[in-house]
Amino acid sequence: MARKTREEAEQTRHLLLDTAERVFWEKGVAATSLADIAAAAGVTRGAIYWHFNNKLDLFTAICDRIMPELEEMESVLLDSRLSPAARLWQHASTLFALVRDNERLRRICGIHHLGCEQVGEMAPLLLEQISWTQEKQARLQQVLEDAASAGQLRDGIEPRLAALGLHSLYGGLCHTWMINPEDNTVHQYIHALISPYFVGIFRDSCWLAEPAAEH
Which comes out higher in pLDDT, residue 126 or 22?
22
Is residue 61 scored above 60 in pLDDT? yes
pLDDT at 198: 96
Which of 141, 143, 163, 129 has its CA nearest to residue 76? 143
Cβ burial of 34 (10 Å; 0-12, 13-18, 19+) is middle
- Mean pLDDT across the stretch 37-64? 92
- Mean pLDDT across the stretch 176-192? 88
**In the chain, alpha helices (H):** 2-27, 34-41, 45-51, 55-64, 67-75, 84-101, 103-114, 124-149, 159-178, 185-188, 190-201
Structural domains present in the chain: 2-63 (1.10.10.60), 66-208 (1.10.357.10)
Confidence of residue 159 (pLDDT cuts 50, 70, 90): very high
d(CA 70, CA 66): 6
pLDDT at 209: 59
Is residue 64 scored above 80 in pLDDT? yes
DSSP designation for 1: -
Residue 139 CB partners (closer than 8 Å, separation 6+): 74, 77
- Mean pLDDT across the stretch 149-159? 95
Q: What is the pLDDT of residues 69-102, one digit of tens each?
A: 888 888 889 888 899 999 999 999 888 888 888 8
Is residue 51 scored above 90 in pLDDT? yes
pLDDT at 4: 54
pLDDT at 58: 93
pLDDT at 10: 87
DSSP designation for 20: H
Is residue 212 scored above 60 in pLDDT? no
- Mean pLDDT across the stretch 172-200? 90
Average pLDDT, the chain: 88
pLDDT at 215: 38
